[in-house]
Amino acid sequence: MKVVIIGGVAGGATAAARLRRLKEDAQIIILERSGYISYANCGLPYYIGGEIKEKRELALNTPESFFNRFRIDARVGHEVTEIDPKRRLLTVRRLEDGAAYQESYDRLILSPGAKPVIPAVPGTELDRVFTLRTVEDTFAIDSFIGQFHPQKAVVIGGGFIGLEMTENLTRRGISVTLLQRSGQVMPPFDADMAALLHGEIKRQGVELKLYTDVTALRAAGERVIVEQKNGPALETDMVVLAVGVQPDSTLAEKAGLRLGIRGSIWTDAHMRTSDENIYAVGDAVQVSHFVTGQPALIALAGPANKQGRIAADNIAGIPRQYHGSQGSSILKLFELTAAATGINEKEARRQGLDYDYVILSPSSHASYYPGAVPLTMKVLFEVPTGRILGAQIAGVDGVDKRIDVLAAAIRGEMKAEDLTELDLAYAPPYSSAKDPVNMAGYMIENLLEGLVRQVHWDEAVSSAGALRAASAEDTGEPLLLDVRTVREFGRGHIEGALNIPLDQLRERIHEIPQNRTLYVYCHSGLRSYLACRILSQSGRVCCNVAGGYGFYEKTML
């Protein structure tokens, strides 16, 4: 059997290695357009920032190492220009000299990846305007910085690449302005959680401009002028375009293969395309979202590797299915770590799901052990089943552990009650006896069982006109109750809120009207939960404000 793989990196290289382990007698060829057969795509920004020192560290495998280890014919600088499915022939152009030749196949695996989205504005072809997708792109940016020593850079786009480039250019001593067309960075996050990232970006001295629509880029000597629709032009030394990626499905389309959403390559659960002899894997393929079951595009290395393995298994005669992606991802942003898995609120609403979420701010490990730092967690769940739908976490330490546990919980279709019973490792330097994941389960369980009602800050703030401190009059309107200490209240509070510290609540409960719905908050949501248990058992209608004043301060002020 002769198997040709178009594209290396994650999906293609994984498929090749897996196939060799299964079929020693197969002829395996990889045709890669770039100069690198398998490289650390996710590590490219960190080479520019200086965290990765050596060029060779970016190359996970070379054509020589692939041949020596697996006897795989890996050809770099070879671009496939046409697929003839009927004849099972490829037209290949050797980029070194432009020579063309044909290559036959019995089975073909497409792993073309995704390509950067280039905005439809003048000037994107300028010498000082860069994209980052390949090792060659990385070296071009690094060489430019080394030669011209830019003082200012504009990064357009606040997704993974945009944020990682913002950090690493800043670490190179370059003053960065980050432009984002929408009102938030990091699309997997909801706007409230993205606000935590906005705060970290600004704390690091980066100028963040939201709702910014770039209309043109133009050269001005050794500078680039960035024209904005709703603001003054920016003058900079370099521009990085990071507005997103799109499936590189040109070959598949020309070959007449069935396409999926947004021009992606359609495959079945076996990673087989509409042609039974052609498989496709990686960033270019449409997948099923594990949570919703709907078609999705999820350009991440983890899914690409899994799909490559599954395609190889099926070609080798081992029936294997890919059951979907859930978008588990993590980002280092200066001193902050941000991670997400499953779906966010935007997607839950789009799918018409009945959902709610909890906000909690636990410590990364036991608070009495030195070095504990807070996490901010948002966990979405289905109502009334309690099935975990998604999670978003931001913090300095312990983010990766919790997002991975929650990702596994989603994959296992766990409910809140299952989270409460997870037996997770505990020692004071690493966690708490009640791990934050357990705590999320307890909070959801309390809501579903009716032990506490909940209101979110957007609803509370939208009712601000009705939130007035208690008086001699019982108007029946909502009352915002702050149960923090007097000192905390003095450092900042919601205007019109009544302050009765939790420890005084039982003695002063007579000050709170019986016929007013109470929106109760503290700093994080714990003391306000305790207050609601007291108040509800006194016959009052009480709603705990999710996340507390700490979350409000970080996300809404």
Return the active site residues: 42
Which secondary structure element, helix H or strand E, spans residue 242, and what is its range? none
Among 210, 206, 214, 205, CA closest to 232? 214
For 548: left if phi > 0, alpha if psi spans -120 to 50, otherwise beta; the answer is: left
Tell the residue number behind the tokens 């024209």, with chain if given. 227
For 431: left if phi > 0, alpha if psi spans -120 to 50, otherwise beta; the answer is: beta
Is the Cα torsion angle 26, 17, 22, 408 positive or negative in sign? Answer: negative
Q: How far apart are CA 511 and CA 519, in angstroms?
A: 15
CB 405 within 8 A of CB 377: no
The DSSP symbol for 555 reads H
In degrees, to the nearest 5, what angle opens at C-alpha 466 toward C-alphas 465 and 471?
120
Q: How far apart are CA 314 and CA 332, in angstroms?
A: 36
Residue 515 C-alpha from the chain's centroid: 44
Tokens, residue 521: 């908050």
Is the Cα torsion angle 483, 487, 488, 491 positive or negative in sign? Answer: positive
Q: How far apart are CA 369 and CA 465, in angstroms?
A: 43
